[in-house]
Amino acid sequence: MKAPNTPPRIRIAAAGKRYQQHQIFENVDLTVGEREVVAIIGPSGCGKTTLLRCIDGLIPLTQGEILIEGSPMLAPRAGVAMVFQHFGLFPWKTVHDNVAYGLKLSGISKAEINERVPHFVKLVGLSGFEKYYPYQISGGMQQRCGLARALATEPRVLLMDEPFGAVDAQTREILQFELLRIWEDTPTTMVFVTHSIEEAVLMGDRIVVLKGRPSSVHEVVEVDLPRPRDRATLLLPHFAELREHVWGTLMADARQAEFDVIKNN
Amino acid sequence: MSGSAVLDADGPRGYALLNHPLFLKATAGLVLLCLWEGVVRWLAPPYVARPSGIAQVILGVLGNAEFLSAAGATLSAVALGLFISLITGTLIGFLMGRIMLLEQGLRYYVNSLFATPMVAIMPLLTLWFGYNTDARLAAVVFAGFFSVTVNACEGARSAPLECLEVAHSFRARPWSTLFDVIFPSSLPYLIAGVRLAAGRARVAAVVAEFFISIPGLGYYILYNSRTFHHNEAFVAVIVLVAAGVGFEAFTRWLTRRYFPWHRPR
Ligand SMILES: Nc1ncnc2c1ncn2[C@@H]1O[C@H](COP(=O)(O)OP(=O)(O)OP(=O)(O)O)[C@@H](O)[C@H]1O
Ligand SMILES: [Mg+2]
C-alpha cells in the first residue's frame, strides 16, 4: 500500500517504558506514513495509553526513541494532538470554549478563534450546543467535543486513545463512520488505540497487536480494504477474514493475560 | 426541601397543609417566639429582651445614626478583612498546593494556626496593633485567612489530573494552566473556604470590639447589655445574623449564576 520511500511521520525505534521495576512495553518498532492510520489493539493494561502518551511527548521513554517528522519527541509539540480515553473536557468551559482551548493556547486572535471554532463544532455535529457545559451533554457528544478540540488545531498527527471506548454501541458506530468521513476530507497521520477488533479493522491501514508482559509488537496486520470505508465495508468477506485473523492472534492467550494482570496488580 | 413533592404524596387531604414545610417553619417559629415571650414575662426582670420588646424598639434602632455607623464599622471591617483573606489566602494556598516544598514546609504551621482559637490570641493582637480598629481588622484577617489558605491549598492539589494532562498535551504554560485549570477547579473549595471564613470573621470582629471597646456592633451589644437595654442589644444580634444569612444566600446565588457546572442539578 505504501510507497517505501515516503518520509515517515512517526518513527518509533526500539521503544520501551518502565515504571520503577515494572517494564510496561519494550522493543516497540513502528513507522507510520503521512496519510496512514495505524490501529493499536491489545488487552487492557498492556500499555496502549502509555505508548500513546510517549508519542505525544507527555512522558519520556526509558529506552529507544520516538521521532516525529524526524525530530525526537521530548515534549508535546504543535501539530500533534491527542484525543483522550477520559475525554479530558474542562467541566467549567462550554463546548465552544473547550473546542477553542488548543487554538487559544497557540496564540491565535480571539476574532480568528471565533471564526474557526464553529467550523469544527459543525464538523463533529455539535452545532447548536456551543453554549452547553460538558455535564449537559451526553458521553457521545462529550467525545465529539474532545475530537473537535483536537481537530481544531489542524494536527498533522492525530493520536486517538480509545476515543469511543466509553460510549454505547450505537453511538460508537455512528462516531466511527463520522470519523472516517472526517478523515477522508483531510487525511492525516492517525494512531488509533482501541479495544475493539472491528473498530481496528475498520479504521486501520495496519493493525498493530500489542501483547505480552512486558508487551511488545506481536504482529502487524495489513488491512487492504478499499477506502473510502463506510457501513458497506463491514459486509465485505475480506473484512470478516481480517477480523477473524486479529481475533485469533489476540485471543490466543488473552485469558491468561487477564489473569496475569490481576495477579500483578 | 421541595414542598410540592410532599404535597403530591398521597395521603389524607387534611394533612396537606400540615405537611407543607413553610407552614411547619412558620408554626415552629411562632411557638418558639411565644415560649420566649411567656418565659421571660413569667420569670425574668422587665429589662430582659423579649419579642414584643424587640418589636417595639427595632425600627427606632435601625433608624438610629449611631447604630447605623456601628453596624457599618463592623460589617465593613468584616468585608475588608474577608477580602484581604481571600486574596492573600488564595495566593498562598495555591502556591502551597502546587509547590511541594512550600506545602511540606508550611503545612503544619498553617494547620496549627487554622486550629488556633482567634479569641485566645486577641490580647496579643491588641499588644501588637494597639487598642484601635487595626487590631479588629487583624483579628478578622487572622480568623479568615487560614480557612481560605487551607481550602485553596486543598483545591489546588486536587485539580483533576485529566485536565492537567490535557493542558500539558496542548502545551499550556504554567500561567495559563493556573487560570484554565487550577483556579476554576479550586473554585468550589474557595467558596467553601470563604463561607467558613465569613462566619469566623464575624465572630472575630465582635470579640475584638468587646475587647478593645471601639465603636461597632459588638461594642453596641456590650454597652446596651450592661446598661439594661437588652432589646436594643438584640437588634444588633439580629443584624449580625442577617448579615451571615445574606452572605450565605449571596454565595449560593453566585455559585448557581456563575459556576453552574459545580454541583449541577
Ligand atoms: N504513572 C504510572 N506509574 C506506574 N505504573 C503505571 C503508570 N501509568 C500506568 N501504569 C501501568 O502501566 C500499565 C499499562 O497502563 P495503560 O494505561 O497504558 O494500559 P492500557 O493498555 O491503556 O489499558 P486500557 O486498555 O485499560 O486503557 C498498567 O499496568 C498500569 O498499572
Ligand atoms: Mg488506555
Contact A78 B169 (CB under 8 A): no
Residues A221-239: pLDDT tens digits?
999 988 888 888 889 999 9
Confidence (pLDDT) at B2: 44
How many angstroms from the chain centroid is the CA of residue B45?
Answer: 33
Is A185 inside a domain boundary?
Answer: no
| pLDDT band at A255; cut points 50, 70, 90 | low
Distance (Å, rounded) from C-alpha A85 to C-alpha A192? 11
Using only the alpha carbons of chain A, give its radius of gyration.
Answer: 18
| Same-domain status, B97 and B135 | yes
Count of alpha carbons within 13 angstroms of residue A16, beta-carbon side: 14
Does the residue A247 lie in any domain? yes
Containing domain of residue A50, as a range?
1-76+190-255
DSSP code per residue over A107-166: T--HHHHHHHHHHHHHHTT-TT-TT--GGGS-HHHHHHHHHHHHHHT--SEEEEESTTTT
pLDDT at A158: 94
Residue A221 belongs to some domain of the structure:
yes
Give the residue-averaged pLDDT of A242-259. 76
Q: Rounded to whole angstroms, how far apart are CA atoms B34 and B49?
A: 13
- Distance between CA atoms of residues A110 and A100, nearest Å: 9
- Residues B29, B69, single domain; the answer is no
**Hey, which of A22, A23, A24 would you mutate to test ligand 1's pocket, going by the most ligand atoms within 8 Å of its Cβ?**
A24
**Closest CA–CA distance from residue B145 to any residue of chain A (Å):** 26
Q: Are A163 and A151 in contact (CB under 8 A)?
A: no
Q: Which of B166, B181, B184 sits opposite A84 (nearest CB)?
A: B166
Note whether B100 and B214 are same-domain residues.
yes
Tell me, in angstroms, the distance from the centre of ligand 1 to residue A51's CA: 9
Give the CB-side neighbour count of residue A21, counting CA atoms within 13 A. Answer: 1
State residue A22 phi and psi, 5-degree precision: -100, 105
Chain centroid to CA B171: how far?
40
Q: Are residues B65 and B40 both part of a single domain? A: no
Residue B264 lies in a domain: no
Same-domain check for residues B30 and B93: no
Nearest CA distance, B117 vs chain A (angstrom): 36
Measured in angstroms, the CA of A251 and the nearest CA of chain B are apart by 31
Residues of A in contact with B180 (CB under 8 A): 90, 93, 101
CB contact under 8 A, B185 and A92: yes
Q: How many domains would you assign to chain B?
A: 2
Report if residue B50 sits inside a domain: no
Which is nearest to B235 in space by CA: B24, B99, B55, B105? Answer: B55
Q: Cα–Cα distance between B237 and B222 in angstroms, integer?
A: 11
* CATH number for the domain harbouring residue B99: 1.10.3720.10
Please report whether residue A41 resides in a domain: yes
| Inter-chain contacts counted by CB atoms under 8 A, chains A and B | 54
Instruction: Examine residue A196 and state whether it is found in any structural domain, yes or no.
Output: yes
Same domain, B85 and B9: no
Domain that holds residue B30: 2-44
Is A81 within a domain?
no
What distance in Å separates the CA atoms of residue B140 and residue B87, rounded to the nearest whole number? 14
Ligand 1 atom showing the smallest separation from residue A195 Cα: 25
Tell me which DSSP letter residue B116 carries. Answer: S
Burial category of A169 from C-beta neighbours within 10 Å (exposed 0-12, middle 13-18, buried 19 and up):
exposed
One domain for residues B92 and B197: yes
Angle at B10 between CA B6 and CA B15, to 5 degrees: 65
pLDDT grade for A165, boundaries at 50, 70 and 90:
confident
Is the model more confident about A264 or about B241? B241
pLDDT one-digit tens code per residue, A47-90: 999 999 999 999 999 999 999 988 888 899 999 999 999 999 99
CATH number of the domain that A241 lies in? 3.40.50.300
Q: Are residues B60 and B39 in the same domain?
A: no
CA–CA distance, A212 with B10 (Å, rounded to integer): 61
Side-chain half-sphere CA neighbours of B255 within 13 A: 19
Residue A151 lies in a domain: no
* From A88, A92, A135, residue closest to B165, measured CB to CB: A88
Q: ipTM of the assembly?
A: 0.87
CB contact A124 to B (< 8 Å):
no
B126, B209 Cβ separation under 8 angstroms = no
**Cβ atoms within 10 Å, residue B156:** 25
B164 reaches A (C-beta below 8 A): no
Average confidence (pLDDT) over A132-138:
92
3-state DSSP call for residue B230? Answer: helix
Q: How many domains does chain A have?
A: 1
Which one of A87, A104, A105, A147 would you mutate to disrupt binding with B, by most B Cβ within 10 Å of its Cβ?
A105
**Secondary structure class of B94 (helix, strand, coil):** helix
B70 and B124 both lie in a single domain:
yes
**Contact criterion met (CB below 8 Å) for B132 and B215:** no
Q: Are residues B158 and B64 in the same domain?
A: yes
B264 in contact with A at a CB cutoff of 8 Å? yes
Shortest CA gap B91–chain A (Å)? 21
Q: How far apart are CA A9 and CA A70, in angstroms?
A: 8
* Whether residues B176 and B201 fall in one domain: yes
Q: Please, which residues have CB within 8 angstroms of residue A147's CB and are 6 or more apart in sequence?
A: A83, A124, A163, A179, A182
Closest CA to B193 of B49, B67, B62, B89: B89
Residue whose cell numbers read 514546609: B105
In a domain, A113, yes or no: no
Nearest in space to A33 (alpha carbons), one of A202, A194, A206, A175: A206
- Same domain as B110, residue B14: no
What is the side-by-side order of every strand in the sheet holding A63-68? A71-72, A63-68, A10-19, A22-32, A215-222, A206-212, A37-41, A189-194, A157-161, A80-83
Written as tens digits, the pLDDT of chain B (265 aa) is: 444 444 455 555 566 777 777 888 899 999 999 999 999 899 988 888 888 889 888 898 888 999 999 999 999 999 999 999 999 999 999 999 989 899 899 999 999 999 998 888 888 988 999 899 999 999 999 999 999 999 999 999 989 999 999 999 999 998 999 999 999 999 989 999 999 999 999 999 999 999 998 999 999 999 999 999 889 999 999 999 999 999 999 998 988 888 888 865 4
Confidence of residue A130 (pLDDT cuts 50, 70, 90): very high
Q: Chain A contact for B260, CB < 8 A?
A: yes
Distance from C-alpha of B95 to C-alpha of B101, rounded to nearest angstrom: 10
